[in-house]
Amino acid sequence: MHSFANQGRLGLWSSRAQRIILNSIAGAFWLPAGWRIVLFRLAGVVVGDKVLVFSGCTFRDTNVVLCDRAFVNFECMFDANQTIVLGPGVSVGARVIFAATTHELGPSSHRAGDERSEPIVVDEGTWIGSGAIIMPGVTIGRGCVIAAGAVVTSDCVPDTMYAGVPARPIRSLDPS
């Protein structure tokens, strides 16, 4: 995949300043796409070549890697308390949520227990439909299709279409 350990992160910026750059300035609808990428890199997001990210995307942190030719549509959310990697040629529909953080199940007096974060990896060529939710610790294999509105709670094998809540394999796809 991609080496991303603190690559692009400027030590001069606080995490608050990084979030302001990402969520207030870079996410603005009026900002040209090229400038958005420059601001992402400045804030510490690792961005490859020929990446396109539309406006309205929000970031909890900068632990995001957008590899070459990644495409991210409007209003996606990166809950990047752990690393989120979108591999080369990944296409993401509007309003997709990458939720790298969740909570352990707590007692009845407070069901949202301790916070737990795990990385998310989306491998090369995958297409994620609008409104899908990708949960912590998930790896989506190369060349998958995730249907609009699907909730992915476990790993996905390469070249397979997934749909539903929770997402289940619907059919195999031709790898060529």
Please identify every residue annotated as catalytic: 103
Tokens at 127, concatenated: 């297409």
Map tokens 């909570």 to a residue: 103
Rounded to a whole number of angstroms, the distance between the first and last alpha carbons of the chain is: 20
CA distances from 132 to 73, 77, 119, 126 (A): 12, 11, 17, 13
